[in-house]
Chain A
């Protein structure tokens, strides 16, 4: 059961608990981790003893999002804002393929999954991790959870799941600025089902799985499909398809006057300096737990 390097998989109380397990990197969603998540979900799907999947993060956060480890990051050329010597067509093609593969294909696999996936969100849940958390069928937040898409501050896209759940006004309020949202605000705007004390988080989710397990699996599967595939029919599939095209453009949309400062900071002080340079002008976060 422990063929996994980047996550923990354990069966308990009718559920499969999948723990993103790279605490030293705040559970950043590397390709290796996402590939293991595919495998773990396939394992849980085929196991009749598993009636629901719980997805959580090891340590003090759910996940910081996209893995920005800078192996082989090459110098950016301005004003084009491309890696040195890399033509736009190549960069564009790679980014589009990546968005289609990592975001869209995996997203739809989880969305159409025949057993409920419950997000148990502890601590930071940022960027692509917020998309992972919000596309779970049910999402329960610990009172220390923080949602945000700060990556929009350095040229990256938001995701339509925020709009689906919170409506265009709430979603745009946070997506246009990358501002943080605490658990109570997340509940108010519809991102999560419930907020519970940190210590009760997994217990709450397992209780939910056990209640689901009282209903025949075929019925659960059909009722899931009524909601998830119904939303796809309503247009969600199309919105995500468009989203994956727009995401590629968003990632390539860098300007010298906005982005060079951040990259210079990164060159000098690494990722920590990059985040500091990026997020400092936005502090205090008006709605987030870091407001004070």
Chain B
């Protein structure tokens, strides 16, 4: 079904199943993943047999977030004290960070068919945003949600605020702390937590129930919720969000960012240890206990 290289798309019963399939990099969202997901969504929308779309991840992660591979303009060779890449103007540097990802998530949000997130494991950063903008989100008990990227100079998403409210979303959005599936359920990020091996079955069963309702009715009821939230201001909030992501990424202090960048040049593990070490144990997350 299609020539996908970084995702899998298959039909099962009334559902179209999209699996992010880069387990070796915890399903990081690359431009290819975005393009292929977009194509698979097109296929699912065009196919009358598909009544609901399920998104999940291969391996132990749902998605680790945006792919951190090299991208034009997004460089790390910052020149200090300016905090601007060597040889670049602040103008180019700011421009490279302005509003890129928002449309992708909004498209998912505005799908005519219900999108069910089957969150099988790590859902970090933009991976958490992908999880949150599915219409119905079900978590495996192994799921972990967090935005650890805020620790090195990055932005949270208003999707967290919409779902968890101001206080809960700020509690986690300001520090990047991990939360487990139960906490995600409590604050409203997901609607249900199920045993890991039950996750996809649970989602497929829900898709079959949705298929019992006429598609036109489902489409309208989806729109009442999703477009209604946009009318309530979600669209404006996400637009502001995408602009604020520029200052969040370029307003880097030497004392915070330089050691991280230098560690990253050596290896990613050392970088993550430097970034996340001071926050461990994660007070609310599944890594709050020492790992064995």
Contact = CB atoms under 8 A, between A and B. Distances in A.
Interface of A: 77-82, 85-89, 91-93, 96, 155, 238, 241-242, 245-246, 248-249, 252-256
A245 B252 CA distance: 17
Contact of B82 (A82, A249, A255): A82
28 contacts: A79-B88, A79-B89, A80-B79, A80-B84, A81-B89, A81-B90, A82-B82, A82-B90, A85-B81, A86-B81, A87-B81, A87-B82, A87-B253, A88-B84, A89-B250, A91-B90, A92-B251, A93-B251, A96-B247, A241-B240, A245-B240, A249-B98, A253-B91, A253-B95, A254-B89, A254-B91, A255-B89, A255-B92
Contact of B247 (A86, A92, A242, A256): A92
B246 interface: yes
B279 interface: no
Nearest to A252: B90
B243 A87 contact: no
Interface string B69-87: 0000000000111111001
B236 interface: yes
Nearest to A155: B91
Interface of B: 79-84, 87-95, 98, 236, 239-240, 243-244, 246-247, 250-254
Contacts of A82: 82, 84, 90
Contacts of B254: 87
A170 B177 CA distance: 49
Contacts of B93: 88
A189 B169 CA distance: 45
B82 to A, nearest CB: 5
A85 B80 CA distance: 9
B89 A88 contact: no
A256 B94 contact: no
B83 A87 contact: yes
Contacts of A88: 82-84, 90, 93, 250-252
Contacts of A80: 79, 82, 84, 88-90
Nearest to B237: A238
B255 to A, nearest CB: 10
B215 to A, nearest CB: 34
A169 B91 CA distance: 26
Contact of A89 (B92, B246, B251): B251
A249 B240 contact: no
Contacts of B250: 88-89, 92
Contacts of B90: 80-82, 88, 91, 252-254
B243 to A, nearest CB: 5
A246 B243 contact: yes
Given A249-B98, A252-B91, 12 more contacts: A81-B90, A86-B82, A87-B82, A88-B93, A91-B90, A155-B91, A241-B240, A242-B240, A242-B243, A246-B243, A249-B243, A252-B90
Contacts of A253: 90-91, 94-95
A136 B254 CA distance: 43
Contacts of A241: 240
B225 to A, nearest CB: 22
A77 B79 CA distance: 12
Contacts of B244: 245
A248 B243 CA distance: 11
Nearest to B92: A255
A261 to B, nearest CB: 14
